[in-house]
Chains A and B, each alone.
Chain A
Amino acid sequence: MRWPSGTFSYRYAQDMAIVRTNTQWGLLIGFLLLMILAPFFLSEYLLVVITTMCIFIVVCQGLQVLVGYTGQFSMMQSAIMGVGCFTTGILCAKFQIMPYWATLPFAGIAAGLVGTFFGLPSFKVKGFYVALITICAQFLIMWVILHTQPLTGGVTSIMIAPPQIGDLVFGSTEIYWLCFFMAVLATFFVKNLTRTRTGRAFIAIRDNDIAAEVMGISVYRYKLLAFFLGNFLAGIGGWLWAGFYGIACVDTYTMDESIWFLCMIVVGGLGSVLGPILGVVFVQAVREFGVVFGPIIADAVPAISGGAGGITVGGGIAPGLPMLLLGVIVVTFLVLEPRGLSHRWGIIKRAYRLWPYSR
């Protein structure tokens, strides 16, 4: 990490601090205040968009631990998020054994354990094969959720009452604060995790697992730990989703959604804590544009509207546009900017600091 000129470390604590300069403190506090006050000046629609972004940031930070730091490919993130969401729904709505808040650890741990189970084969295989196992896991988990009707409700899904503290029922504003808080917490957690012994072990495994093993790192143990932590955060994401949307429904957690999550961290940049935040904001913004413009394009161009030209309903640009966007975003970023937005941001920041000596 390069700091602005004139920043010197006199103590170890200073050297390790995440926020160093007064400017950074000012910008950080300003940003947090802005986000906390956002519900008072944003429209309801934008608030929903931002809340969803916050939930996805939690999920993607988990995925970043798994993919970006440990190098274990996970294609099951949305199914794991579903596990968290359904655990919450089963405990607090279906059987009503505990309030919404008490389900937080259960949602996280259930998701973490399921994820760790599917991480078990990583003992023998790696790389592409782990990707395939997690693709399997995506389908298996969703199939089990769909077919354990008495527990999860299957296709009928579970409705979850909005969470409340005392008499205060959480509306969209309060839920937004909760989600934002969790997003900040998850980011802080992952940032610090990567600076510990565990995090360094993760990075060693990603860079060269055989070398890591020779160095005395228990590769399997750390891989499983990464699977647990990454999927734990996905479970928390599911918990937030249950609180915000008030529904646990199998249709939400598809394979495509998993690919979207991967797309988000690749767009943001692998192996960086800033990556998931930039990636989620960028990709979600594009997706929202897709949702808004899909029907508009369909109206403007009848040939691909899905209803005309002898084509039966159920196709057209409106349902097709998300998939087209997914392809375009991933291809563009992998070919033109494989290291993601956070790398680009670093370049811009350095150029700003070195100005006028930067190119």
Chain B
Amino acid sequence: MAEFLSYLLPGICVGCVYAVIGLGLITIYRTTGVVNLAQGEFFMFGAYAMIFFAFQLGFPIWIGLVMLIAAFAFLGMFTERVLLRPLVGQPIIAIVLMTLALGAFIRGIMTTFWSDQARAVPSLFTGYGGVEIFGANISMAYFWFAIVSVALFGILWYFFNHTKMGLLMKGTADATQLAQSCGVNVNVMTRMAWVIALVACGLGGYLLCTITGVNPAMSTYGLRSIVVVLAAGLESIGGCMIMGPVIGAIEYIGAGYLDPLVGGGIKEVMAFIVLFFFLIFRPQGLWGWKIIERL
């Protein structure tokens, strides 16, 4: 039991990270129909930006937070206006390749300026002890993971279901032309989606990376969060929040029990195996919408 828990709980908490990245992904997808494959890179970039503001420029952390939000809002607007607006109407390969290349570019920036080693991130909180649950020793840090991600999830859920802006954004995603003819400014909606997604992602990245430190190899989290989002269904925020921990748990439990059999490293591919089966048997995900196409 203790062994099982010691795999399960870290898995769930890392899964919360996937869910946070996935939330940004869904926000953008629901408004613009673009799946941003660079989301994992933006996530880490939040932590690196904070290293830059707090360590290298020497600002206090609270001012650094404001600068972080401003920088990511600008980044969101820039990405949407300069990089993705020209691709409207082009085949899907253009969008996918653009976001992948954007991710590579951000990784290049991080490698160039901050090296590829793991680095500490200036922290808001202090003191992460361990806590014992059923004989399994779990670091307190993991609970911060969970709390931060659940809080972000709650905010976004409220935004999309109970504010006018959020509902307008959902409407824009469902029927762009219809929304436009009803007087919704689609350009503003698109820009807002990118700003919200990137600010949430950057903040989440910063907060979560204070616990573990950060290194460019964490960009694979982005791809795994896509697994989460697809397994839950691209339209479902709640599903993302459920599937994140589930996928995280599958990864850690799979790694714990299967690694001795196959010689390690199964954590890296577990999520992709799950995704493979999902795409074969239920491509729209558990709570997603099945889109029926017509000629």
Interface residues of A (CB under 8 A from B): 67, 71, 73, 120-121, 124-125, 127-129, 131-133, 135-136, 139-140, 143, 146-147, 149, 208, 210-211, 214, 256, 259, 262-263, 266, 270, 304, 306, 311-317, 319-331, 334-335, 338
Contact = CB atoms under 8 A, between A and B. Distances in A.
A322 B111 CA distance: 11
B115 A313 contact: yes
A202 to B, nearest CB: 15
**8 smallest beta-carbon distances between A and B, as pairs:** A327-B105, A315-B115, A323-B108, A320-B112, A330-B101, A324-B108, A320-B111, A136-B272
Residue among A71, A208, A331 with the highest chain B CB neighbour number at 10 A: A331
Give chain B's interface residue range (CB within 8 Å of chain A).
Answer: 35 or more
Interface string B103-123: 011111111111111000000
B182 interface: no
Nearest to B56: A309
B117 A312 contact: yes
B177 to A, nearest CB: 20
Interface string B83-114: 10011001111101110111011111111111
Contacts of B96: 73, 128, 131
Given A259-B104, A263-B97, A306 B279 contact: no
Contact of A263 (B91, B101, B226, B283): B101
B105 A210 contact: no
B35 to A, nearest CB: 6
B91 A71 contact: yes
Contact of A132 (B110, B262, B279, B295): B279
Contacts of B90: 334, 338
A334 B98 contact: yes
A172 B286 CA distance: 54
B275 interface: yes
B101 A326 contact: yes
Contacts of A140: 269, 272-273, 276
B108 A326 contact: yes
Contacts of A321: 108, 112
Nearest to A315: B115
Given A139-B268, A327-B101, A315 B293 contact: no
B36 to A, nearest CB: 12
B263 interface: yes
A143 B104 contact: no
Interface in B152-184: none
Contact of B100 (A259, A313, A320): A259
B114 A335 contact: no
Contacts of A132: 226, 230, 275, 279
Nearest to B102: A327
A323 B41 CA distance: 13
B232 interface: no
Contacts of A323: 104-105, 107-108, 111
A316 B115 contact: yes
Contacts of A128: 35, 92, 96
B60 interface: no
A314 B117 contact: yes
A39 to B, nearest CB: 34
A324 B112 contact: yes
A266 B116 contact: no
Nearest to A120: B280
Interface in B256-295: 262-265, 268-269, 272-273, 275-276, 279-280, 283, 293-295
B269 A317 contact: no
B294 to A, nearest CB: 8
A134 to B, nearest CB: 11
Contact of B283 (A125, A259, A326, A327): A125
B223 interface: yes
Nearest to A303: B113
A129 B279 contact: yes
A267 to B, nearest CB: 10
B276 A327 contact: no
Interface string B206-248: 0000000000000000010010001000000000000000000
B101 A73 contact: no
A151 to B, nearest CB: 13
A248 B109 CA distance: 30
Contacts of A311: 114-115
Nearest to B90: A338
Nearest to B293: A210
Given A270-B93, A334-B87, A136 B115 contact: no
A263 B100 CA distance: 10
B91 A124 contact: no
Contacts of B102: 327, 331
Nearest to A209: B293
A326 B106 CA distance: 11
Contact of A331 (B101, B117, B268, B275): B101
Contacts of A135: 223, 272
Contact of A327 (B104, B115, B295): B104
B280 A129 contact: no
Nearest to B111: A320
Given A129-B283, A263-B97, A315 B112 contact: yes
Residue among B105, B223, B295 with the highest chain A CB neighbour number at 10 A: B105
A316 B111 CA distance: 6
Contact of A262 (B97, B106, B230, B295): B97
A121 B269 contact: no
A331 B35 CA distance: 17
Given A147-B262, A311-B115, A214 B295 contact: yes
Contacts of A127: 92
Given A132-B275, A331-B98, A331-B105, A146 B265 contact: yes
